[in-house]
Structure 1
Amino acid sequence: MAGEIEAAADHANAALLADVIDTPAAGGASPTAVCANCGAPLPGNFCGNCGQKAHLHRSPADVGHEFVHGITHFYGKAWKTFPMLLLHPGRLTREYIMGHRARYIAPVPLFLLVVFLMFFVFSFVLVMPLPTALTPAQTKAQIIELDCSIADIDRDLLAARKNNDRNRIATITGIRSGLIKTRDAVRQGVAPGAFDIPAEISREFATSDLKVNLGNETINQKARHALKNPELVLYKIQGKAYKLSFLLVPLSLPWLWLMFAWKRDVRLYDHAIFALYSISFMSLLFVVGSLALAAGIGFGLFWFLLVFAIPVAHMYVQLKGAYALGRFGAGWRTIALAFASVITLGIYAVIMIVLGVVD
């Protein structure tokens, strides 16, 4: 079932991402008598039945023209959509709901584009060590700690070889290699990367007697295997989170519906547009945070603004403008939506972790 859902998500993502760049407009050609696509009579440059252009380009030069036209058309919409998403999200959402759509990138392609950008950036940051310089004292202390860890690993490796436990030998050997690389980096005065957590999990699991009991032996085996190789599980989770990112929208809709259940002029479609634009903005914040983390930005005010202040302010402005609310109505809904967002992200994270472990 999980594989089928992922396959459907792949097809949907590919189709919708392809639709981000609009079809180029026709130009400079006289229409044919009938539409080549549906056969309907052509009154002008476009088919009145299916909308296809009357004149179809077939030369290499026309391919280049259509490519340039499509890119510039997309960028034209982007220059209107992104400033509105950042500064006037309520007006952007309201205008799109009310039918002013030709000037903006549609919410679904925008959502997929931003989510793709988010995971693209995160995939590089995830493996990027932070170039944090160590003092001589810190370097010496970390080398001593790593030497002790390697010594413990060597003892476990010797025991695994005596027992001819091939799986454990392979796991411990990989962990030992990672520890040695980390020690080599520390000897050069550079701190280990911020995302060495999977390797640390592997080391702790390999050197402990941790037992896993989830009520089903098949699931237990998959969980134990996942703990031995968390790097692979993290990669699976990342892939599934991208493919199934659209689940954030249906997970968000019940909360929005509850906040406006008594308003008959608000429809579920309006909530979906709100959620798509809101999640797109939050994904852009995640991109900024990932780049800041890679750059080693650590002062508290920046992270407070990025994680708390800006998301809450954006929710307030978008709610107030999209649903034409007063200050009080937008205020209490902002507080409720902030808590609902944390719950939604928690549910989504649990789903992704479960899928990453059991797959």
Structure 2
Amino acid sequence: MVGEIEAAGELATGALIGRAVEPSTGEGHGGGHMCLNCGTALIGPHCHRCGQSGHVHRSLGAIGHEILHGVAHFEGKLWRTLPLLAWRPGELTRRYVEGERARFVSPMALFLFSIFAMFAVFSWAGLSAPSDIKVGGPAKQLELARQGMAEERAELIEKRDKRAVGDPKRRQAEEKLAELDRAIADLPTMKKVGATNEGFQATTRLSGWAPLDHGIEKWNKNPSLMLYKLQSSIYKFSWLLIPLSLPFMWLLFAWRREYHLYDHTVFVTYSIGFMSLLMIALTLASSVGVTSGTIALASMGIPFIHITRQLKQAYALRWLSAIVRAIFLSFFILIVLLIFLLLLLALGMTG
């Protein structure tokens, strides 16, 4: 029940935040005679000088009206945007870039709404970081590491003794043995501060960089908490995917001077919005019993088809050119996701 309440709250928040950044062009109310903000004579539903609406509410009930009005207009645009986003994403991208914006949800508003909605559905479906990861104490972990190294050392000694003196393979075994001995010597030292296993405290010497070593210790002590923080970071810093993707989009069209970074930004933002909505659909499909094989096939095939269509339509490409670029872009996406996760891990471990 708590998860469902949280999911509903996040979904409503996403709609309101999406609406907050959504331009209200073409959505005027009836106006008055003078703008109450700057005093300019009104010639339409909005002031042509400062942009304020000519119709201003001054009652407590108007707060709820404004919320419902804003969300309703956002949803109205959403239902005009989603069909194009699903089947003709490149056309939606091109029409928005070229100035047709009042009819559609803006890329950033759709991005915010879809991210909030995705995590709301994840919360409802119970998809979250595990909270019961069990790990041994530092002494136990260190003992397991020592045992593994001891077994590897015994194997190296056996291999070395089977070779005659001067044999290149014997020399290789001796070099590996010396390297392993150095690694054993560099293992964390242990200080006994109590009688139990947890009473041993490790002095970590992994990288020599105190913030990183401290982060590794935090992961070892409470991996469940660190996974929860990582999940929260994905939620909060998902916008980083947009700037991280732009250099790779530029590489795909570096010689096409008619396309600019703004075009690529709209492309990437709409694309991420669609992928988030696709994750929602797949999660809901899984919850109603769709087989895992079907979910896996859809999760691999639909994104590639969508990216191909969006590239073809947005950049006026031939099918072959769009498919080739989609293949490269798929690899770029994996790189972007890896960089994104590494940044979040660095933030979590050093923060």
Q: Aligned residue for 2:212? A: 219
**1:331 pairs with 2:313:** no
Q: What does residue 342 of structure 1 align with?
A: 334
**294-303 or 328-337, which moves further after superposition?**
294-303
Matched, 1:238 2:245: no
Measure how far apart 1:126 and its partner are. Answer: 5.0
- Rounded Cα–Cα distance in structure 1 between residues aligned with 2:75 and 2:19: 15
- Over the residues paired in the alignment, what is the CA RMSD in angstroms? 3.0
CA distance in 2, matches of 1:95, 1:205: 62
Q: Distance in 2 between matches of 1:291 and 1:204?
A: 41
Question: 5+ residue gaps in structure 1?
Answer: 1-12, 129-194
Equivalent residue of 1:69, what SS? helix
- Equivalent residue for 2:273, pick from 263, 268, 280: 280
Residue number in structure 2 paired with 1:320: 312
- More divergent stretch after superposition (329-338 vs 48-57): 48-57
Paired residues of 2:46 and 2:52 also in contact (CA < 8 A): yes
Q: Is the 8 A contact 1:21 1:73 kept in 2?
A: no
Offset, 1:284 = 1.7
Query: 1:1-359 to 2 correspondence within 5 Å?
Result: 18-20=20-22, 22=24, 25-28=27-30, 30-32=32-34, 35-126=35-126, 196=130, 199-200=133-134, 209=143, 213-292=206-285, 297-305=290-298, 307-359=299-351
The answer as to whether partners of 1:85 and 1:277 remain within 8 angstroms in 2 is: yes
**Distance in 2 (alpha carbons) for counterparts of 1:204 and 1:317:** 52
Pairwise CA distance, 1:329:
1.3
Aligned residue for 1:199, secondary structure, equals coil
Q: CA deviation at 1:240?
A: 1.6
Q: What letter corresponds to residue 111 of structure 2 in structure 1?
A: F
Q: Structure 1 residues 68-77 or 84-93, which shifts more?
A: 68-77
Instruction: Give the deviation of 1:293 after TM superposition.
Output: 5.3
Q: Which amino acid aligns with 1:342?
A: L
Percent of residue pairs bearing the same amino acid type: 41
Q: Which moved more, 1:266-275 or 1:277-286?
A: 277-286
> How many angstroms apart in 2 are the aligned matches of 1:75 and 1:15?
12
| Larger displacement relative to structure 2 (56-65 or 21-30) | 21-30
Structure-1 separation of matches of 2:28 and 2:303: 42
- Distance, in Å, in 2 between the alignment partners of 1:106 and 1:65 is 23
TM-score normalised to structure 2 length:
0.70
The superposition leaves residues 302-350 of structure 1 with CA deviations (integer Å, 9 ceiling, x where unpaired) of: 3122x21111000100000011111121111011001111111111111
After TM superposition, give the deviation of residue 208 of structure 1 in Å. Answer: 5.4
Question: In 2 relative to 1, CA 202–358 (structure 1 residues): closer, same or farther, beyond 3 Å?
Answer: farther
AA paired with 2:268? Answer: A
Question: In the alignment, is the contact (CA less than 8 A) between 1:31 and 1:45 conserved in 2?
Answer: no
Residues 214 and 350, structure 2, Cα contact 8 Å, conserved in 1? no
Aligned equivalents of 1:54 and 1:213: distance in 2? 64
Matched to 2:53, the amino acid is: K
Look up the match of 1:191: none
* 5+ residue gaps, structure 2: 1-14, 146-204
Contact 1:93 1:273 in 2 (8 A): yes
- Quick check: 216-225 or 232-241, which moved more? 216-225
Matched position secondary structure for 1:221? helix
Contact 2:45 2:54 survives alignment (8 Å): yes
Q: How many residues align?
A: 278
Pairwise CA distance, 1:299:
3.3
Could you tell me how far 1:65 is from its partner in structure 2? Answer: 4.0
Residues 202, 42 of structure 1: alpha-carbon distance in 2 compared, 3 angstrom cutoff: farther
**Counterparts in 2 of 1:333 and 1:38: CA distance versus 1, 3 Å:** same
Q: Distance in 1 between matches of 2:269 and 2:20?
A: 18
Structure number with greater Rg is 2
What letter is aligned with 1:320?
A: K
Query: How far off is 1:225 after superposition?
Result: 1.9
With 326-335 and 117-126 compared, the bigger mean Cα shift is at: 117-126
Offset of residue 59 of structure 1: 2.9
Q: How far 1:25 moved relative to its partner? A: 4.6
Residue matched to 1:161? none
Give distance in 1, aligned partners of 2:288 and 2:217. 34
